[in-house]
């Protein structure tokens, strides 16, 4: 899929808003099936832009939750525990 740098950047920006792939493809004007295929392949500039956008937002959310947990928020502490558990599971999967 040959897309301009501007469209790749827009994919990253829309992904950072946690929009669904179908929504992103419609907004940038590309074929939904081709876009989904690019994401499923987990390589190339389309996938990297999509993954980077959503991961940057996830990072920002995690930073806020950890900050709130360190200040004693019970809800944030529970979320932080979930983050730790998910990270632990991912580490185990990576070792296999």
Cα 50 to Cα 52: distance, rounded to the nearest angstrom:
6
pTM > 0.85: yes
Which pLDDT score, from 0 to 100, does residue 96 have? 81
Cα 2 to Cα 86: distance, rounded to the nearest angstrom:
35
Identify which of 5, 36, 38 has the alpha carbon closest to the alpha carbon of residue 23. 36
Which pLDDT score, from 0 to 100, does residue 1 have? 81
Query: Mean pLDDT in runs of 10 for the chain (96 residues)?
Result: 94 98 97 97 97 98 97 97 96 90
């Amino acid at each position: 899929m040959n897309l301009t740098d501007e469209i790749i950047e827009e994919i990253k920006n829309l992904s950072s808003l946690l929009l669904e792939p179908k929504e992103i493809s419609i907004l940038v004007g590309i074929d939904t099936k081709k876009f989904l295929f690019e994401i499923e392949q987990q390589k190339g500039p389309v996938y990297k832009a999509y993954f980077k956008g959503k991961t940057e937002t996830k990072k920002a959310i995690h930073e806020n939750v950890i900050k709130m947990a360190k200040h004693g928020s019970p809800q944030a502490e529970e979320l932080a525990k979930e983050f730790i558990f998910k990270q632990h599971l991912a580490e185990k999967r990576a070792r296999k």
